[in-house]
Amino acid sequence: MKELGESTRSVHAGFEPDEKTGSVQTPIFQTSTYVQSDFAEHTGYEYSRTQNPTRDALQEAVAILESPGVKAYGSAFASGMAAISTVTQLLESGSHIIAASDLYGGTGRYFDQVLSKFGIETTYSELGPGDLEACARENTKMLWLETPTNPLLNIHDIAELSAKAHERGWLVVVDNTFASPVLQRPLELGADISCSSSTKYVAGHSDVISGYVVTRSEELNEKIRFLQNTIGAVPSPLDCFLILRGIRTLAIRMERHCDNAEYLAQKLSSHPKVTRLLYPGLEGHGGHDVAASQMRRFGGMISLEIEGGEAAARRFAKASKLFTTAESLGGVESLINHPWSMTHAATPEARRLEVGVTPGLVRLSVGIEDAEDLWKDIENALNASS
């Protein structure tokens, strides 16, 4: 599938008409168990926590999207956090993780409040020159990247950091949620594992919670599949169907998300009320060049601060008619989020301030509406913010 374009790949990835009925769409195999012709003799499907044909089709699709052309293995989970927590179960107690300092708040909460109880410590770092070496410990086993980051849209150089981590024998995991595999493919850049909250762009319609993990390593895949079955945080067959349906339009949606976000970012960049604007597609963004080299386009997320801080941000959100205030991102509809009090409330306040998640910051998930309508709405909301 390497030679195909993004849209063709999205439509055809893991697409297998049902052999028995010819059903063009993958059926929803809503069953917990399967008939056995004799004790322990079955078709390969025995119990739906272990295998389910709708989930198989989804797992195949995400593997192709994340690694077209090179065999990869996908595993689907009941949420992005289920995917993330399962990946960290690859580690032994006493291991150490180095993670980017600006991460989705739920990932940091899991590292700090759950993994730490099992003797796995995390060091957060800006991952600038010399930082990996400075953070390295004898027991470091994993480098955890998120790029672009949530919510500051920082960019990390996946190829460079993976090469450095591999010199030391660390496993490299990239949370690819913000880019989606249409815009960025971490495995092609050297990462060992690409994981994602498919709740976001991949499913794309704000109607399902889900996650996945993809690796090219057969050995890692065996371990992940063992953990998937053993821990059991698997998605339902209906959810798998919904994610697959979302995938069919992923490439076309991403183009529109990017068109709209690029347009809004340009407009916002010259607006007098905007005091801080974060979008990797802008030339002045610190990670612009790396983003241009490792991403196809710059994505649909924009973060900004408005003159007047948190109070102005609140008035801005209330005045907007098209950006709905809600958690999450990556759906067809535009959303606005206040990381300080919503997605990143669980991150310790000092760390939030240190990395730049301020009380005045708002994060926009730019949907696929008409760009001009979105701009008019934002302009009105900015005018109402003071």
Asked if residue 265 lies in contact with residue 279, where contact means CB atoms within 8 angstroms, the answer is yes
Query: Which tokens is 264 given?
Result: 């809004």
Q: How many Å apart are CA 133 and CA 161, to the nearest integer?
A: 11
169-195 burial, b for 16+ CB within 10 Å, e for fewer?
ebbbbbbbbbbbbbbbbbbbbbbbbbb
| Contacting positions for ligand PLP (CB under 6 A) | 79-81, 104, 106-107, 146, 150, 175, 177-178, 197, 199, 209, 211, 343
> Minimal distance in Å, beta carbon 8 to ligand PLP?
27
Query: 49 catalytic, yes or no?
Result: yes
DSSP letter for each residue of 189-258:
GT-SEEEE-TTTTTT-SS----EEEEES-HHHHHHHHHHHHHH--PPPHHHHHHHHHHHTTHHHHHHHHH
Shortest gap between Cβ of 144 and ligand PLP (angstroms)?
Answer: 11
State which residue has the least CB distance to ligand PLP: 80
Count other Cβ atoms within 10 Å, centred on residue 151: 30
If you write DSSP's letter for every residue of 53-87 in order, what string do you get? HHHHHHHHHHHHHHSTTS--EEEEESSHHHHHHHH
| CB closer to ligand PLP, 81 vs 312 | 81
Pick from 89, 299, 9: nearest CA to 179: 299
Q: Clarify whether 104 is annotated catalytic.
A: yes
Instruction: Choose the catalytic residue: 9, 55, 141, 200.
Output: 200
State residue 22 phi and psi, 5-degree precision: 80, 5
Q: How far is the CB of 311 from ligand PLP (least distance, A)?
A: 25
Between 337 and 385, CB nearer to ligand PLP: 337
For residues 184 and 197, which CB has a smaller minimum distance to ligand PLP in the complex? 197
Alpha-carbon span 382 to 379, nearest angstrom:
5
The answer to whether the CB of 264 falls within 8 A of the CB of 274 is no
Of 55, 56, 73, 104, catalytic: 104
Q: Are 140 and 92 in contact (CB under 8 A)?
A: no
Shortest Cβ 269–ligand PLP spacing (Å)? 24
Selecting among 49, 109, 225, 245, the annotated active-site residue is: 49
From the candidates 102, 157, 175, 192, give the one annotated as an active-site residue.
175
175 is catalytic: yes
Nearest CB to ligand PLP, comparing residues 175 and 188: 175
Judged by beta carbon, residue 207 or residue 370, the one nearer ligand PLP is 207
Provide, rounded to whole angstroms, the least separation between the CB of residue 328 and ligand PLP.
Answer: 6
Residues in the chain: 386
Q: Are 327 and 363 in contact (CB under 8 A)?
A: no
Residue 276: both structure tokens together = 């801080």
Q: Which two tokens stand for residue 125?
A: 């770092």
Contact criterion met (CB below 8 Å) for 95 and 142: yes
351 is catalytic: no
- Residue closer to ligand PLP by CB (options 100, 382) is 100
**What's the min distance (Å) between Cβ of 34 and ligand PLP?**
28
- For ligand PLP, which is the closer residue by CB, 176 or 385? 176
- The least distance separating ligand PLP from the CB of residue 186, rounded to whole angstroms, comes to 13
Catalytic residues, which ones?
49, 104, 175, 200
